A and B are shown apart, each in its own frame.
Chain A
Amino acid sequence: MRPEIKEYNYDWLMGKTLSTAARIPAGTKKETELTYRYIPYFKGAAESFINAGQPGIRFLELLGKYYENLLTARDDGKIIAGTTFCSTPTILYAMDILPVTFEILTAIGCLVWKRGMFDYMDYCCEVGMPETSCSSQRGYLGALLAGLSEDVEFILCDTPGVCDTNANAFAFAAGYLDKPFYQLNYPSVIGDDRSQKYHVDDYREMVRFIEKQSGRKLDYGRLAEVLKEVDAQDAITADIEDMLMMVPTPIPPVFNLILYASRFCFAGHPEYTELLHVMRDSARQRIRDGIPGLSAGEEKLRIFLCYIDHYTVDMNFYDYLEERGIAHTGSILTRNFRDGNKYVEDMPSNAYAIDISSPEAMLDTVAQMNARLPMVRSIRGPYDRPGMWLEESLACARLYQADCIIYNGTPGCRNTWGMVKPFARDMEKHGFPTHIMYDDAFDDRVESWETTKERLDEFFHIRGLL
């Protein structure tokens, strides 16, 4: 790692950058334009969020506030836990523990910094991780291992058997830093009584672990409050999901990122509820004004990303979609699989409900909700089994009227690269042109954004889509 990187705490760097970015639109239009001239390296990212209107600005504020909490956690006597995006932070908020979600914090660095998270990713390799490990954890993990971020008290993950390379990153962190570690473990099927019970048994053990590490008991009253907030959030999300189904959709591409990144970090927080309100209002206004979510005004194509988005610098991916007039109807990260959503009608086993009537009901709720997060929900078993990746992707592609499917991931993603070719072939058989991207969503050194863009254009052109 270069010496100058070691001089700054990564959390502080990002936190300050994002909170400052959130203040840019507070000035006059002229002041805002002038400010952009002084931040040539961050202008791209800042502008993209600010041009998305209040949702983008609120998102920046939310992230800034998150970092402020993170940086003052120790002073406030709070505990910090390292965790993954497939594990809901609600239980941690209920216990007043701050979650540090590795993948989101990596993505932020990738979006904001010209050189991305390369230094941190490489640092992981310097201390023993193979370079083939997934980049999504390796970015933030590098900062953590190097002591350049806030330290964590313990580590949680829930991806063994679903995404081993993800679980491995957390296990490595625990081994390297000698931190207590708990893995939730998911069976390869979902919705049947046996696995439902296993979810709860395992989650109960995790709660015991967290109680032991934190020295505090889970307050079910507090959990009820948090889950009520999640319930409210799910209702607004359902509206946004419905709006994504409209043709043209009033939802801009970047709203997807804001929606799921916030859910992974802030589910259960009132600020997230507020952000969702603002997003929904913004979309509703577009409907009233008769304008689509795409800023150019015309929706030429609708894509469904069966896996994840691309987090290249300056929000280039989302800007590219805007430029080309491509509507982003969602990814595996967008859908929350709360019951009642249209897309769960044919896959009821994949949905969760919220019941706060008793501590057992609440534990069951949060265990089942956790088990329905991306990856752990539908990547846990063979892709062509009921409720798994193929069925889910087809349901979404049909309901959201996608014209084509895009697979984007990372070379570290063993669980999808292990079968994405047969999966793509099956999607094609069902009538969906499918494009497999060979880039790394978090690391432009694998395939430059320019090349990725070219290949996307080539796909759209050859298949007569654009």
Chain B
Amino acid sequence: MQVFHDAATRVQCPSIMDWKAAGKPVVGYTCSYTPAEVFHAADILPVRLRGIETEGTEIGDTYFGPFICTFPKCILQLAGKGRFNFLDGAIITPGCDGMRRLDECWRKAGEDYEGIVPDYFYYFDVPHKAEAHGMDWFIDELKLLIKSIEDHFGVEITADKLRSAITEFNKGRRLLKELEDLRAAGIVVVSGADAFAATVAGTVMPREEYTAELRKFVSGIKRRKTSLSEGKARLMVVGSVSDEIDLFELIENTGKAIVVAENLCFGIRYEGNEIPEDGDPVAALASHYMGTSVCPRMFGKYKERLGLLKERIARSKVDGVIMQNIRFCDLHGAENGLFERDLEAVGIPCLRVEREYGPHIDAGRMKLRLNAFLERMTAVGDRPRHRDVAEAVSEPV
């Protein structure tokens, strides 16, 4: 567990440093639409770029304007401070406007701060739709990315290597699915914070090491007897990108709630879905990474996402949903507005809260709203029975 916690809370965690010490390359990426398997197949460690451990955002603020969410600002802040100098490459993806501008802001900051732009700096053009021609474009982009990695790093990424990578990653996916099933049980023996740390760690650790640790973690959980969910509200966290373990800890430290599910960029989401290990690996990767619409950047799929949420709520017996958005994140901010309308309408209490990411996360404010929300849920008689919840959300979307 400590391994996961270290990986989840430190930018330059031991796993990454050990990998570098072995003389192997590390490439950072910004978006969950980037297939990590591609790097694994080239013996490159893929690490998800994050904004934790920032103490200010003056570098981020210099290049990004004022009306931009703090997530890319924090990443740029770390880059400007040299905290990402261990990277041999970075992949920038148009996840959203704020994140895609990390490309030019980082490069421009590189003109002022020496050595902060990795040698390999690539723009991976992920479309906003998964329909036929969008998927074709994505497959082409993947092939271009693969070729680019091969050329720059002097490696060969064969179809077999990709299939091996998929197989390896699937082991972890199966374990993550087991973890999700454990969290969905009537009696939950693992905290949301620990589960989240385990998931976030998977975005920065070498896969074999991660799978081994995850196996230990999951089998350990299966042996536990003490309920962590007894008498507590079962909550789900959705919304803007978050890799912040302390957000989950904030919720669970109230002593009145446990996070049993989430729909977050760093969360399990569809991680539990395995990718076919035979056939064309590039097509398989494309279909998995872009095929399921779980992010509002895939515009026009609100109903599908609402359906997904309702499914999760029923499966994990969720009592209430916390919908957070980082200020200036309009995609999640607006979608949370729709979710709130439609989930409250079927009796699922929702808490919408706007916040900051990074050094300005104000715990006091969050705690106030959390407590009020929990009080609201308990004040109105018994909490909705899980069966009622399942019935309520099983109505056609």
Q: Which residues of A contact B (CB under 8 A)?
A: 127-130, 132-134, 157, 160-161, 163-165, 167-172, 174-176, 181-183, 185, 187-189, 194, 198, 201-202, 205, 381-384, 411-422, 425, 438
**Closest residue of A by beta carbon distance from B108:** A422
What residues of chain A lie closer than 8 Å to B331, measured between beta carbons? 164, 168
**Is the CB–CB distance between A132 and B333 below 8 Å?**
yes
B82 at the interface (CB under 8 A from A): no
Q: How far is the CB of B141 from chain A (nearest CB, A)?
A: 9
Q: List 8 A-B contacts (CB under 8 A).
A: A132-B327, A168-B299, A181-B299, A414-B96, A416-B65, A418-B65, A419-B63, A421-B62
- Distance A169 CA – B299 CA, assembled complex (angstroms): 10
Q: In the assembly, what is the distance between CA of A160 and CA of B126, in Å?
A: 11
CB-CB < 8 A to A128: which residues of B? 334, 336-338, 340-341
Complex Cα–Cα for A194 and B296 (A): 26
The residue in chain A whose Cβ has the minimal distance to the Cβ of B133 is A201
B171 at the A/B interface (Cβ < 8 Å)?
Answer: no
> Please, how many angstroms separate the alpha-carbon atoms of A185 and B141 in the complex?
15
Question: What are the nearest 5 A-B pairs in CB distance?
Answer: A128-B337, A418-B101, A417-B65, A130-B333, A160-B128
B328 CB, nearest partner CB in chain A, Å: 5
Is B97 a contact partner of A175 (Cβ separation < 8 A)? no
Distance between Cα atoms of A134 and B68 in the complex (Å): 12
Cβ contact within 8 Å between A417 and B64: yes
Check if B160 is an interface residue, CB within 8 A of chain A.
Answer: no
Contact A130:B330 (CB < 8 A) given known A160-B299, A171-B302, A417-B64: yes
B134 within 8 A of A: yes
Which residues on the B side are within 8 Å of A160 (C-beta)? Answer: 128-129, 297, 299
Q: Write the nearest CB–CB distance from A172 to chain B, whole angstroms.
A: 5
Q: Is the CB of B104 within 8 A of A176?
A: no
Report whether A183 and B300 are in contact in the complex, using a CB–CB cutoff of 8 Å. Answer: yes
| A residues in contact with B105, CB < 8 Å | 418-419, 422
**When the two chains form the complex, which single residue of B104, B140, B300, B341 contacts A384, counting CB atoms closer than 8 Å?**
B104
Q: Does A174 lie within 8 Å of B300, measured CB to CB?
A: yes
| Contact residues in B for A421 (Cβ distance below 8 Å) | 62-65
- Select one of A133, A188, A422 contacting B123, CB under 8 A: A188
Closest to A182 in B: B300
State whether B67 touches A411 (Cβ < 8 A): yes
User: 16 new A-B pairs (CB below 8 Å) besides A172-B335, A381-B123, A414-B96?
Assistant: A128-B338, A130-B329, A130-B330, A164-B97, A168-B296, A168-B299, A170-B299, A411-B67, A414-B98, A417-B68, A418-B68, A418-B100, A419-B105, A419-B108, A421-B64, A438-B66
Query: Which residues of A sit under 8 angstroms from B86, Cβ to Cβ?
Result: none
Q: CA of A416 to CA of B329 in the docked complex: distance in angstroms?
A: 15
Q: Which residues of B contact A416 (CB under 8 A)?
A: 65
Identify A185's interface contact among B128, B329, B334, CB under 8 A.
Answer: B128
Inter-chain contact B330/A412, CB cutoff 8 Å: yes
| Per-residue contact bits, chain B 287-314, to A (CB 8 Å; 1 contact, 0 not) | 0000000001101101100000000000
Give the complex CA separation of A334 and B68 in angstroms.
Answer: 27
Chain A residues within 8 Å of B341, by CB: 127-128, 176
Of A198, A202, A414, A422, which contacts B63 at CB under 8 A?
Answer: A422
Q: Which single residue of chain A is at the shortest CB-CB distance from B109? A: A422
Contact flag A176-B68 (CB < 8 Å), given A130-B333, A194-B140, A421-B62: no
Other-chain contact of A161, B128, B131, B300, B302 (Cβ < 8 Å):
B128
Known: A185-B129, A414-B96, A418-B64. A164 touches B297 (CB 8 A): yes
- By a CB distance below 8 angstroms, the chain A residues around B100 are 161, 188, 382, 415, 418
Q: Is the CB of A183 within 8 A of B65?
A: no
The reply to whether A127 and B300 form a contact with Cβ atoms under 8 Å apart is: no
- Cβ-defined contact, B333 with A418, below 8 A: no
The B118-151 residues at the A interface (CB cut-off 8 A) are 123, 125, 127-129, 131, 133-134, 137, 140
Interface centre among A127, A185, A413 (most CB of B within 10 A): A185
- A188–B335 alpha-carbon span in the complex (Å): 25
Point out the residue from B303, B328, B337 that lies within 8 Å of A414, measured CB to CB.
Answer: B328
B325 within 8 A of A: yes
Minimum CB–CB distance from B278 to chain A (whole Å) comes to 29
Question: Is the C-beta of B202 less than 8 angstroms from some C-beta in chain A?
Answer: no
Interface of B is mostly: helix
Chain B residues positioned under 8 Å from A187 (CB to CB): 125, 127, 137
Residues A419 and B101 in contact, CB atoms below 8 Å apart: yes
Contact A414 B67, CB 8 Å, known A171-B302, A419-B101: yes
Q: Which B residues touch A384, using CB under 8 A? A: 104, 107
- Which among B66, B97, B127 has the greatest number of chain A C-beta atoms within 10 A? B97
Q: Tell me how far the C-beta of B391 lies from the nearest C-beta in chain A, rounded to whole angstroms.
A: 23
**Shortest distance from the beta carbon of B69 to any chain A beta carbon, whole Å:** 8
Closest residue to A188 on the B side, CB-wise?
B125
Q: Are B62 and A413 in contact (CB under 8 A)?
A: no
A198 to B100, CA, bound (A): 20
- Are A132 and B297 interface neighbours, CB within 8 A? no
Are B330 and A181 in contact, with the CB atoms below 8 A?
A: no
In the assembly, what is the distance between CA of A167 and CA of B296, in Å?
Answer: 10
Q: Which residues of A contact B72 (CB under 8 A)?
A: 418
Expressed in whole angstroms, the Cα–Cα distance for A419 and B102 within the complex equals 9
B299 touches A171 (CB 8 A): yes
A182 and B108 alpha carbons, distance in the complex (Å): 35
With A129-B333, A132-B333 known as contacts, the answer to whether A205 contacts B67 (CB < 8 A) is: no
State the Cβ distance, A413 to closest chain B Cβ, in Å: 7
Which chain A residues border B300 with CB–CB below 8 Å?
A: 171, 174, 181-183
> Are B338's CB and A183's CB within 8 A?
no
Of all chain B residues, the one with the shortest Cβ separation from A130 is B333
Q: Which residue of B lies closest to A175 (CB)?
A: B302
Contact of A176 among B131, B137, B338, B354 (CB under 8 A): B338
Check if B243 is an interface residue, CB within 8 A of chain A: no
For residue B266, give the distance in angstroms from its CB to the closest CB of chain A: 20
Chain A, Cβ-Cβ closest to B73: A418
Nearest CB in chain A to that of B62: its residue? A421
What is the CA–CA distance of A165 and B66 in the complex, to the nearest angstrom? 16
- B94 on interface, CB distance cutoff 8 Å: yes
CA of A418 to CA of B103 in the docked complex: distance in angstroms?
10
Cβ–Cβ contact B97 & A414, under 8 A: yes
> Which chain B residues lie closer than 8 Å to A127 at the CB level?
337, 341
A198 to B64, CA, bound (A): 30
* Chain A residues whose C-beta falls within 8 Å of the C-beta of B125 in the assembled complex: 187-189
Q: Report whether B129 and A132 are in contact in the complex, using a CB–CB cutoff of 8 Å.
A: no
Interfacial chain B residues near A202, Cβ < 8 Å: 133-134
- Nearest CB on B from A198, distance (A): 6
Most A C-beta atoms less than 10 A away, residue of B96, B107, B334:
B334
Q: List B contacts of A161 (CB < 8 A).
A: 94, 100, 127-128
Q: How far is the CB of A83 from chain B (nearest CB, A)?
A: 14
Give the shortest distance, in Å, between B38 (CB) and chain A (any CB). Answer: 19
In whole angstroms, how far apart are the Cα atoms of A189 and B124 in the complex? Answer: 12
Complex CA distance for A71 and B329, rounded to whole angstroms: 35
Smallest CB–CB gap between B59 and chain A, Å? 12
Q: Look across to chain A and name the residue whose beta carbon is closest to the beta carbon of B72.
A: A418
Task: Give Cα A198 to B137, complex, Å.
Answer: 8
Per-position contact with A for B73-112: 1 when CB-CB < 8 Å, else 0? 0000000000000000000001011101101110110000
Question: Which of A130, A176, A425 is packed against the most chain B CB atoms within 10 Å?
Answer: A130
Residues of B within 8 A of A411 (CB): 66-67
Chain B 323-354 near chain A by CB (<8 Å), digits 1 or 0: 00101111101111110110000000000001
User: How distant is A354 from chain B, measured CB to nearest CB, in Å?
Assistant: 24
Interchain CB contact under 8 A, B97 and A163: yes
Chain A residue contacts of B330, Cβ below 8 A: 129-130, 132-134, 164-165, 168, 412, 414
Q: How many Å lie between the Cα of A279 and that of B154 in the bound state?
A: 60
Contact A415 B134 (CB under 8 A): no
